[in-house]
Every structure is written in C-alpha cells, then in structure tokens.
A and B are shown apart, each in its own frame.
Chain A
Amino acid sequence: MMKNAIKVRTLEVTRGGSEVLRGLEFEVAHGQVTGLLGPSGCGKTTLMRALVGVQRITGGSVEVLGQPAGSASLRDRIGYVTQQPSVYDDLTVTENLRFFARILGVGDKRVAECVGLVALGDYGDRVVSRLSGGQRSRVSLAVALLGEPQLLVLDEPTVGLDPVLRVELWETFHHLAGEGAAVLVSSHVMDEASRCDRLLMMREGRLIADDTPTGLLERTGSHDIEQAFLSVVHEKEAA
C-alpha cells in the first residue's frame, strides 16, 4: 500500500509575530487532485511553502513523500508553482525550461514535452516578458512539470486563464494524478472546487473542512461549494 504523499501534524507557523497557521492536521493521498480552498489571506500560500520546505515552521511536523519537508532528497521530487511566475522574463520559453532542466538533470526531450503540456508549443522562442500573464504562469507550471514530480504543489495556477485553457489544465492535473502523483491545487475561486477529488477548506489559519466535494455538499445540504463553505463557517462559529 502506498503511503500518503503528505502528512501534516499540528503544524504551526508564526510570521512577524502573528499566527498564520494554527495547528493544521491532514494527509494528502497519491493519485488524487486535492483542492486547498479558502479566502485570500487564510494561510494557503504559507501552508504550501511549508510543504515544499521553504517556509520555516514554528511547531508540529510536515512529512512529504516519507521525508521531513525540506529534505535534500525531496528537491527533485516536488514541483512547486508560486502565484507569481518564477521564471526569467528576459529568456525565451525554451531557454527558461532548458536552464531548469539542466539543474534537474533532465533532457531536452522532456523540455519539449512540458512546453506541449502547457500548450505553449507555438511560443517556444518567444521571450517571456512578451507573453501574457496567463502564458507566463504556464511557463512557470511547465518548469514544475519538468522533473516528473511525485508531488505537485500549485498555488492558484488558473488565475486569469481563459476557461478553455482552464479546463485543459485541470485535465492535465488529473492526468498526472492518474499516473500516481499527488496534486495539491490552491484556489480562492470556489467553483473550481468541484473539479477536485478532495477538498481541504481553510479559514484564518485553520482547517475547517476535509471532505470530497459531493460529501461536503450533502453534509451541508448546499447547492454549491461557496454556500457549503459559508455553512461550515457558521457551523464552526456556532460551536
């Protein structure tokens, strides 16, 4: 049996004197697309940074692919896409990918594959600064896919993308999950939640729900995820 890709226990993070994450506990399975939902400022990005191992944590533990987060052996097994595209503006799409591929020890064939996966085949020789915002974030996503990671952590990857492309990207995420990877996608757009296999809902640094989209709708008797989110919040406040 495959162990869970992520195991988080009583995770706490304090930044600049304020508690950003307050005792999170959850697990994320391989082979699934897990959505991390919550309003902007609730700690999604900090949590993702902690999973990738770039965030200093104050308490608790984070285990990723069987290792403590941030272990050197994890560095070529995790793909991470930040909200702001972390690529070089003054290089072309292909130059960017080739550079990161050399760091990861991945060949040119995979570079071409990844450019195709994010539908930028026609833009390989275009300098990134001359691409649109959505195209730039796709370059950043392509970089994260290079090493065929077992865990893909994506911070709001579909913001500002046209609906057709958004659907395609979600298909890509499910395809990767189908091959066994764990995919964690954050979003503040609640309507994207229905595309996930499982949902983690966050508010003010705490996890308020951990369920499948249908399970959550049934339990709260809601028609959509946004309404479900609100009723979970009310439920918690009443308790």
Chain B
Amino acid sequence: MNTLTPRATGAVTTRVLTQLRRDHRTLAMLLVLPCALMSLLWWMFDGLPGEGFSTLGPALLALIPFIIMFLVTSVTTLRERTSGTLERLLAMPMGKLDFLLGYAIAFGLIAAVQSALAVGVCVWLLDLSIVGSVWMLMVVAVVDAVLGTALGLFVSAFARTEFQAVQFMPALVIPQILLCGLFVPRDALPRVLEVISDVLPLSYAVDAMQTVASSSETGEVWQDIAVLAAYVVAGLALGALTLRRQTD
C-alpha cells in the first residue's frame, strides 16, 4: 500500500516546485526574509559590547527554516486537502509516502537554497564567528527545514481551515522556541521543563547549531542530526497515517 515509486515522488516534487516558481511573492519571502531577519539581529547588537550576534545567530539559523517550512507546509497541504486534489490523488495509484516524500524533497530543496543564502549572509557579510564548518551549519539548517515540513504535513490533518492551521504555530512551535535553550539554558530549567525540552525536536536543532558555532567537534552534531532525522521519519509516518483513502 505504501510502496514508493520514484516516478510519483518525482512528479510531486516537480509539481510543488513549479507551483512555488509561479508564486513569486512567496518565493521571494522564502529566500529574502531569513537573510533580512539575520541582518536585523546583527544590527540589534551592533555597537553593543559582547558577542550577542554570534551567541544568538546560530540558534536563529535553526529556528527560521523550521518555522517557515512548518507554516508553508501546513497551509499548502491543507489547501491540497480542501481543494479535493488530495482525495483525487489518493484515488489514483499514488503511494502515501510518495506524496509525503515528494513534498519533503521539494521543501527540503527550497530550504537548502534558503539556508545557503542565510548562512552565507551571516558568515561572509555579518561576520558570524563559526568554529566548526560552514557546511555543517547548512546541513543542520536543511534538516531543520525538513523537520518543519514533516510536522507541518502532520498537523495539517487536524485543521479544517487555514485559520486553524496557522494557530498550530503558537501551539506547537512557540513552546519549542521558549524551551530550546535560547532564553534559559536547558539544564537550568525547572526539572519538568528540562525533561519536556529533552523530547522537543527543536532543542536538538538549536544544540546542533550552537555546537557547530562553538567547536569543530562533529560527533555531537551528528548525534543531534540523527535525533532530528528520527523526528522527521516519525513525523512523516504519522503524516502517512493521517492520509486516508476513505473518509466519512
């Protein structure tokens, strides 16, 4: 039932990218906004003593692709559910995983370009100091974006309207931002919150970014990436469960 056919997966990816290419405004926002936000962060700390930008910058590089892809995906897939195209696809010889992976690959590619631009601006224009490799920073950013996509695909099943879909952002994303270690170091949180932050994927994303920024050690980063990848797989699997060929 959930067989994968590269032809169908590729068809979905190509289609999603064609749709985005046609939507110039969304495309521009996807590519320009992260750079603009990073520049804003840099500007805030310009002239202040200390390394504010270099401390917060890596965490923000993890958050932005996650948030943007979460929103974009939950709204796009919801649109697919309400317009009837999803039902039509599921009545065709289309694997559920083909559908999900097709989306994940398309948005993963967009995220790669998005992150490359944002990381490029940070490192070469805004002098973000990175001890580890710039490539590693990009790998983490892309995995974050795919994670946002996977969760977005999943939650879109629980929204009936685009208004509802957008509400999942404060419900599911903001708590993760609060608990990811950006405001209070995670090991200084009350015990219960620390445990909760241990099971939230964004904590691992921010950890990975901060490790890349502060050391050239890659072992820990790969561990974080592995955890993130597991969340991506789980998100896609849960997403597949929400794609029903038969409904009431």
Contacts and interface: CB of A to CB of B under 8 A. Distances in A.
Interface string A61-98: 00000000010100110101010111111110001000
B90 interface: yes
A90 B246 contact: no
A228 to B, nearest CB: 33
Contact of A103 (B18, B19, B87, B94): B94
A16 B247 CA distance: 12
A91 B17 CA distance: 11
B19 A90 contact: yes
Interface of A: 15-16, 52-56, 70, 72, 75-76, 78, 80, 82, 84-91, 95, 99-100, 102-105, 127, 143
B19 A54 contact: no
Interface residues on B, range: 20 to 34
A86 B92 contact: no
Contacts of B245: 53-54, 70
Given A53-B245, A53-B246, A88-B85, A72 B19 contact: no
A54 B87 contact: yes
Which residue among B83, B89, B245, B246 has the maximum number of chain A CB atoms within 10 Å of its CB? B246
Contact of A86 (B8, B11, B88): B88
A86 B84 contact: yes
B191 interface: no
A65 to B, nearest CB: 14
B248 A15 contact: yes
B246 A54 contact: yes
Contacts of A88: 15, 19, 83, 85
B85 A103 contact: no
A103 B93 contact: yes
Contacts of A95: 15, 18
Interface string B89-105: 11111100000000000
A15 B85 CA distance: 22
